[in-house]
């Protein structure tokens, strides 16, 4: 027997939205005020969501429990699969001693922590986001920064903040692709509008990172490099998204930024290298103690990882993804007791539509599998490190990540129960009731969606239909609000409990999720406020900026 969603169970959309938001308030309170561990906050938030779905929304208990389990399963695979394999590759390079070579080679380019953050967190992280997405860049780059000697809190926080610039075009542009698909809007046009919003944020992210680390005075000392990174990334992102396609903006921007920084630092260096206060001061120019071959060998696992992740995500050039997906196509189950038993209704959809629950075991096409293969291939390159040690390291990594695994599973369970009960749609509809002010709240809706799900892709799937409908009702360009959902969503990535769990797992800060949340919250609020004002201005005063 099916159950039809009710988006206003309490008779007032505002009251219903406030009740629907209780699980989020609980998580915010427990992380931001009580400073509890991530899995504790997630458990209370999840329990409250299940109870609200049953007693306030009238959702049958069986459907509520099954949707929670369905979300938790998605959290385990493919999300946790990415995190485990990424940290495993990093742990192998540490155990084998190869990461010491990576540290030395990077320090020989620059021993300045500010510039290392630009290279690893911003540029290299953007490349990984562009190829894989879904938590992969934070898992890899945060672990690398800790290995380089960064303060773990700053390593986690900086990587989360840096991950704002590329998220909308992550995983070969999949968030923008989904936004266009669910709204039946032209993909290239959506890409162009995102490309006329996000670069305004991307160009200042390098400065934002450096100011966060070293203050304004420290940032001014490396301002030339900051400008090179910001302009190279934002300029390439704008050009690619507007004149090439929606699939490559992150990859091209990251590659151009890395090359630009490498060339620039050959002719310019800061007068004094900056380190964290608890570090020993720099002793001067650091020379690379290893041969070119040794350096390439040490970096090989990450080069192989980047190449395989790109191939796994590509369905436009070589087309490996299509082949892998075709091999995986029959590996799925229709989630028992949930598939097509929940019905979406007006005004979220034009006519009643069954809500599917298809759980795919896309083991071959998953990004985590690409990372797994990169680790296996690397065994042929890493010296004195065989399959036995790699296997032991893999299981040690799972044990190391046991609490983040639990947290991610519960957070995805929370996201799915809120989706299937209609609680997420209730909050979205409350925003659409703001009339002519809706363009201001449009990116905030995307921000909320990413906070809920940890994914810009999921937030676009959840809210872009409502974004289009609301825009048409208030008389603004629907392409603007749909794009703003994605552009605003990137600002929520750094405070999403799922993303924070990945970051704490990568930096050895499990149990300190509240610390990272408090670190990133003010940055997230500042960035989404900027995007909200920009979208409102583009809707009424700066409409000429849009294609």
Residue among 9, 29, 7, 237 at smallest CA distance from 122: 237
CA distance 522 to 43: 24
- Spatial CB neighbours of 303, under 8 Å, sequence gap ≥ 6: 296
d(CA 497, CA 458): 15
Cα–Cα dist 99/116, whole Å = 15
Q: How far apart are CA 194 and CA 488, in angstroms?
A: 10
Span 373-414, pLDDT tens digits:
999 999 999 998 999 999 999 999 888 878 778 877 887 788
pTM, whole model, 2 decimals? Answer: 0.76
Q: What is the pLDDT of residue 462?
A: 66
> What length is written for the chain?
547
Tens digit of pLDDT for each residue in 211-248? 998 899 999 999 999 999 999 999 999 998 898 778 77
pLDDT for 278: 74
Contact 407, 454 (CB under 8 A): no
Return d(Cα 94, Cα 100) in angstroms, integer: 7
Digit-coded pLDDT (tens) for 448-496: 888 877 778 777 766 776 777 778 777 888 899 999 999 999 999 888 8
Do 343 and 6 contact (CB within 8 A), yes or no? no
Residue 131 has pLDDT above 70, yes or no: no
Q: What is the DSSP string of 171-240?
A: HHHHHHHHHHHHHT--HHHHHHHHTTTHHHHHTTHHHHHHHHHHHHHHHHHTHHHHHHHHHHHHHHHHHH
Q: Rounded distance, CA 198 to CA 129, Å?
A: 15
Residue 220 has a pLDDT of 93
Tokens linked to 71 = 């979300």
């Amino acid at each position: 027997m099916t159950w039809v969603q009710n988006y206003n169970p309490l008779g007032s959309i505002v009251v219903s939205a406030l009740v629907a938001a209780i699980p989020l308030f609980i998580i915010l309170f427990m992380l931001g005020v009580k400073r509890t561990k991530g899995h504790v906050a997630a458990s209370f938030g999840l329990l409250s969501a299940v109870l609200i779905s049953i007693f306030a929304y009238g959702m049958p208990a069986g459907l509520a429990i099954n949707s929670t389990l369905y979300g938790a399963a998605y959290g385990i695979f493919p999300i946790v699969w990415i995190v485990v394999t990424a940290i495993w590759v990093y742990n192998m390079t540490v155990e084998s001693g190869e990461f010491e070579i990576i540290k030395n080679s990077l320090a020989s380019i620059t021993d300045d922590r500010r510039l290392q953050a630009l290279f690893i967190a911003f540029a290299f992280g953007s490349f990984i986001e562009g190829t894989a997405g879904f938590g992969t860049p934070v898992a890899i780059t945060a672990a690398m920064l800790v290995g380089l000697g960064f303060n773990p809190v700053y390593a986690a926080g900086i990587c989360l903040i840096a991950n704002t610039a590329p998220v909308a075009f992550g995983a070969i542009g999949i968030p923008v692709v989904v936004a266009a698909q669910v709204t039946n809007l032209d993909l290239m046009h959506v890409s162009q509008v995102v490309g006329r919003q996000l670069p305004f944020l991307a160009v200042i992210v390098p400065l934002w990172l450096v100011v966060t680390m070293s203050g304004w005075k420290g940032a001014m000392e490396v301002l030339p490099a900051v400008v090179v990174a910001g302009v190279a990334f934002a300029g390439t992102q704008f050009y690619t998204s507007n004149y090439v396609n929606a699939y490559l903006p992150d990859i091209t921007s990251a590659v151009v930024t890395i090359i630009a920084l490498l060339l620039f630092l050959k002719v310019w260096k800061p007068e004094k290298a900056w380190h964290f206060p608890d570090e020993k001061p720099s002793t001067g120019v650091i020379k690379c103690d290893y041969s070119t071959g040794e350096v390439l060998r040490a970096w090989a696992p990450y080069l192989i990882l980047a190449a395989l992740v790109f191939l796994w995500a590509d369905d436009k050039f070589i087309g490996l993804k299509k082949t892998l997906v075709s091999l995986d196509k029959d590996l799925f189950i229709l989630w028992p007791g949930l598939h097509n038993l929940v019905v979406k209704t007006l005004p979220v959809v034009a006519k009643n539509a069954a809500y599917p629950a298809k759980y795919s075991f896309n083991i071959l096409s998953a990004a985590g599998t690409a990372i797994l293969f990169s680790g296996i291939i690397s065994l042929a390159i890493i010296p004195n490190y065989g399959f036995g040690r790699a296997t032991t390291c893999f299981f040690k990594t799972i044990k190391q990540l046991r609490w983040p695994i639990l947290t991610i599973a519960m957070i995805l369970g929370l996201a799915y129960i809120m989706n299937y009960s209609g609680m997420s749609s209730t909050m979205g509809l409350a925003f659409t009731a703001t009339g002519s002010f809706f363009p201001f709240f449009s990116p905030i809706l995307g921000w909320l969606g990413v906070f809920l799900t940890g994914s810009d892709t999921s937030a676009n799937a959840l809210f872009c239909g409502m974004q289009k409908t609301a825009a048409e009702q208030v008389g603004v360009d629907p392409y603007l609000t749909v794009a703003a959902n994605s552009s605003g969503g990137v600002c929520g990535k750094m405070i999403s409990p799922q993303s924070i769990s990945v970051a704490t797992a990568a930096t050895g800060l499990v149990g300190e999720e509240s610390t990272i949340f408090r670190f990133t919250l003010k940055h997230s609020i500042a960035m989404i406020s900027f995007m909200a004002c920009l979208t409102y201005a583009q809707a009424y005063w700066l409409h000429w900026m849009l294609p």
